[in-house]
């Protein structure tokens, strides 16, 4: 390949890496938010605690928010790992990593289509 000329392979690699980096950032933000809320940290200046009280004040509502926070942390971590594998596969030209990410995305899409959307 000559200098200054971009091939389709180079352009698609840059696009794939960029999309994966965006998903890494999104996964990190979701996981960090879930961890902070689940840990009960006072980083939000007491904005989370009134939500528990305003939502009914019962222990079950607080438990529900805790489960949502833990689920967000797990989901964010999963997005972070999958996007990191995809970015490493795109950077290093490892087809095995790219195939595994593609398989995961395909299976997730199929399961969301059949089981995730109510009629």
For residue 1, being part of any structural domain is answered with no
User: pLDDT tens digits for 45-65?
Assistant: 566 666 666 655 555 556 777
Query: What percentage of residues in the chain have a pLDDT greater than 90?
Result: 44
For residue 8, being part of any structural domain is answered with no
For residue 49, the model assigns a pLDDT of: 62
For residue 3, being part of any structural domain is answered with no
Number of domains in the chain: 1
Query: Residue range 15-35: average pLDDT?
Result: 94
For residue 101, being part of any structural domain is answered with yes
Query: Residue range 5-17: average pLDDT?
Result: 86
For residue 5, being part of any structural domain is answered with no
For residue 52, being part of any structural domain is answered with yes
pLDDT at 3 over 70: no
Q: How far is residue 82's CA from residue 90's CA, in Å, rounded to a whole number?
A: 12
For residue 63, being part of any structural domain is answered with yes
For residue 57, being part of any structural domain is answered with yes
DSSP letters, 60-115, are HHHHHHHHHHHHHHHHHHHHHHHHHHHHHHHHHT-HHHHHHHHHHHHHHHHHIIII
Can you give the residue range of the structural domain that contains 81? Answer: 15-113
């Amino acid at each position: 390949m000559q200098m200054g000329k971009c091939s389709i392979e180079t352009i698609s690699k840059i696009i794939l890496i960029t999309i994966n980096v965006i998903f890494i950032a999104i996964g990190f933000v979701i996981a960090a938010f879930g961890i902070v809320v689940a840990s009960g940290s006072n980083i939000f200046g007491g904005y989370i605690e009134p939500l528990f009280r305003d939502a009914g004040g019962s222990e079950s509502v607080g438990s529900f928010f805790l489960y949502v926070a833990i689920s967000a942390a797990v989901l964010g971590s999963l997005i972070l790992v999958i996007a990191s594998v995809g970015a490493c596969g795109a950077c290093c030209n490892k087809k095995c990593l790219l195939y595994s990410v593609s398989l995961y995305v395909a299976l997730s899409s199929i399961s969301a289509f059949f089981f995730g959307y109510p009629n």
